[in-house]
A and B are shown apart, each in its own frame.
Chain A
Amino acid sequence: MDDQAKDQAAEQLSGGAIMDAMKEAGVEYVLSVPDLHTSYGLLMPIADDPDLKLIRTCKEDECIGISAGLSYGDKRAVVLIQYTGFLYAQNAIRAMAAEQQKPICLMIGLLGKPPGVLPKDAKRIGVRSVEPYLDFMGIPHALIETDADVHLIPPAIVDAYENQHPTAFLIGRRPVAP
């Protein structure tokens, strides 16, 4: 990566790069309730991508159940939701991710977190609470703030499915559409 590319990666998050990372990890399904944070840069491009099957659900806990069911047929999925939906779906996440250790792969949009600010320093209590909830349930997580972080996604998803455990990615800034 040359200096110009490094500067660009340090300042933006590309939805296309995230989608490529999903595909590299063998993800076939994206289960989602729309999130303003990721809607334009990630969800809409996913809807147009023939290699990813998007299932639109009505509430976020549905995504957890569908993902668990898919895993019994060795189908990989990402649950793309906003942090408010993550908080809503705690009981399902508690059951399937924390207790049953199913490979639930959460991609959580941190709406309202300014770029470059750590989640723990965000003004919104909901944004600040995501990492402590994940830690309490023993779910490993990574902050995806810029393109330089996207390389963390494929190995974490592959490990989740191969070793049967959940994982989470916190989308720290609004992705840019490909």
Chain B
Amino acid sequence: MMNRLECLKILAEHVTDEIVAPTYSCATDWMAINDRPLNYYAFGAMGLASSHALGLALARPDKRVIVLDGDGSLLMNLGTLVTIGAVQPKNFVHFVGHNGSYEANGGAPLPNRSLDFAAFAETAGYKSAHTFTDIDDFAAKVGDLIKAEGPVFGNLVIEQGPLSNRDYSEMHSAKRREVFREALDSGA
């Protein structure tokens, strides 16, 4: 089983000018690893990261958009896979940290921990869907994956925690949204 922090550190080595939309535990870890203006944190309601990211991907087809979702979050908005599969945004990459729990909310288990999210994405119409359980396999493929024609889905089977320090009020602040907007408008 992989570790979320390790996965995100490997991903960070490949990220350049993409919009990255991380949520909850992925967001706190990503912020600790790669705090940058083109990170978008402004979801406000759990489960909607991929919906916001779909809007961003449609509005800015010149940018690639990478969603860092959680399995608990995705289950709160599972229909998003069908919507994204129908819209077929070519610049859209959707990773899910699959640890079988609502980790950010205290670690309670999902109603069913052994779901095949990649199968969900595939049948919903994603161009490709992958499951990673081995860090070396992920490291070998992630560079190509984030450049592939979307929508692309990557299910990262990870252990729980450890959680990075979290400051949601700063993460969700108007200042953060302003910085993101300025970075987008400046063509970063």
Contacts and interface: CB of A to CB of B under 8 A. Distances in A.
A68 B83 CA distance: 16
12 contacts: A65-B43, A65-B49, A65-B50, A66-B54, A66-B55, A68-B42, A69-B53, A69-B57, A71-B59, A72-B180, A75-B58, A92-B48
Interface stretch (A43-51, A53-61, A124-132): A53-61
A117 interface: no
A80 B42 CA distance: 22
B79 interface: yes
A77 B55 CA distance: 10
Nearest to B56: A69
B80 interface: yes
Interface of A: 29, 55-59, 61-75, 77, 91-92, 94-96, 99-100
Contacts of B86: 55-56
B80 A69 contact: no
B140 interface: no
B180 to A, nearest CB: 7
Contacts of B174: 100
A65 B52 contact: yes
Contacts of B180: 72
A96 B48 CA distance: 11
A68 B45 contact: no
A56 B82 CA distance: 10
Given A55-B83, A66-B52, A100 B59 contact: no
Contacts of A100: 42, 44, 174, 177
A70 B65 CA distance: 13
Contact of B82 (A58, A64, A71, A92): A58
Interface of B: 40, 42-45, 47-60, 77, 79-80, 82-83, 86-87, 174, 177, 180-181, 184
Summarize A's interface: helix, strand, loop or mixed: helix
Nearest to A95: B44
Contact of A61 (B48, B54, B57): B48
A61 B53 contact: no
Contacts of B53: 69
Given A77-B55, A92-B44, 9 more contacts: A55-B83, A58-B80, A61-B45, A65-B50, A66-B52, A68-B52, A72-B56, A73-B184, A96-B45
Given A55-B83, A95-B43, A100-B177, A65 B59 contact: no
Contacts of A55: 83, 86-87
A99 B83 contact: no
A92 B42 CA distance: 11
A75 B59 contact: yes
A92 B55 CA distance: 15
B44 A67 contact: no
Given A57-B83, A58-B82, A73-B59, A66 B51 contact: yes
